[in-house]
Amino acid sequence: MIATAPAPPRAGTSRLRAEVRIVAEADGRGGTRFAVLRGAAPVSLRPTPDGLHLVASAAGPLGGDVVAIDVRVGADAALTVRTAAASLALPGRDGAPSAVTVTAEVGPGGSLRWLPEPLVAVAGCRHTASATVRLADGATLVWRDEVMLGRHGEPPGDVVTRLAVDVAGRPLTRHELRAGPSAPGWDGPGALGPCRAAGSLLVAGPGHRAGEPAVLSPTAATLPLDGPATLTTATAPDAPTLRRLLDTAHRPPR
């Protein structure tokens, strides 16, 4: 089971439009400092030794919420982003969709590790989590997406996760997962199958050796892309199994 942190209740009708901005720069002494750290409800930002934590100050995303997160990692800077707990994509009262959109740029020699806890696609939700990452030559990216397909014993709502990464202006990956009632056949043998958890881990960067493709399970594989990168995709019966499969391919440094 996923531990979900209790979040303050919300009035069902209020919609949030949030723009979060994070700018990390090399501090010139081998470390990284934040030039800009601007949270916006429902996302507050908490730097910890373990990385920058995105903390939800309200339940959600709730149908109708639109959260945009802009991340800049400068040359030779290093940023790890985590979340304190799983986030729950919840249906809004009027069926409006919710969206969390991340736009990130990483400069030469810079490194971004995006390692949030899973997203739970609650029954009835209509959620899109979309990320566009532009890497400079010589930048490093570790990107994890994990989706729990519904809470325990319920079918998921509509959920789309999308990751588009360019390296020096050239497309590296365009990777999308869809589940829920609006994605025909999503739980069949041609797509995700009868799983409760699905996700991917992208590792890209000049120091990364792609190596040979590896089949981790009948529904999980580590796949070298065209370029110094591997994408591990997996479906699993539960969140811990999914995490284990993704970690098999690459245990992200803490």
Of 4-12, 85-93, 141-149, 156-164, which segment contacts another protein by CB under 8 A? 156-164
Of 3-11, 36-44, 57-65, 209-217, which segment contacts another protein by CB under 8 A? 209-217
Is residue 242 within the footprint of another protein (CB under 8 A)?
no
CA-nearest of 25, 169, 7 to 90 is: 7
Is residue 196 within the footprint of another protein (CB under 8 A)?
no
Of 16-24, 79-87, 93-101, 218-226, which segment contacts another protein by CB under 8 A? 218-226
Is residue 143 within the footprint of another protein (CB under 8 A)?
no
Is residue 137 within the footprint of another protein (CB under 8 A)?
no
Q: Which residues of 99-131 are buried (b: 16+ CB within 10 A; e: fewer)?
A: bbebebbbbebbbbbbbbbbbbbbbbbbbbbeb
Backbone angles phi, psi at 243, to 5 degrees: -60, -40
> In this chain, which of 47, 213, 237, 240 binds another protein, going by CB under 8 A?
213
Distance (Å, whole) CA 69 – CA 36:
12
Of 32-40, 87-95, 105-113, 178-186, which segment contacts another protein by CB under 8 A? 178-186
Is residue 237 within the footprint of another protein (CB under 8 A)?
no
Count of residues touching another protein (by CB under 8 A): 43
CB neighbourhood size of 202 (10 A): 25
Radius of gyration of the chain (CA): 18
One-letter-per-residue 3-state SS of 37-52:
EECECCEEEEEECCEE
Q: Given the rule CB under 8 A, which residues bind another protein?
A: 132, 160, 162, 164, 166, 170-178, 183-193, 198, 200, 213, 215-221, 223-226, 231, 233-235
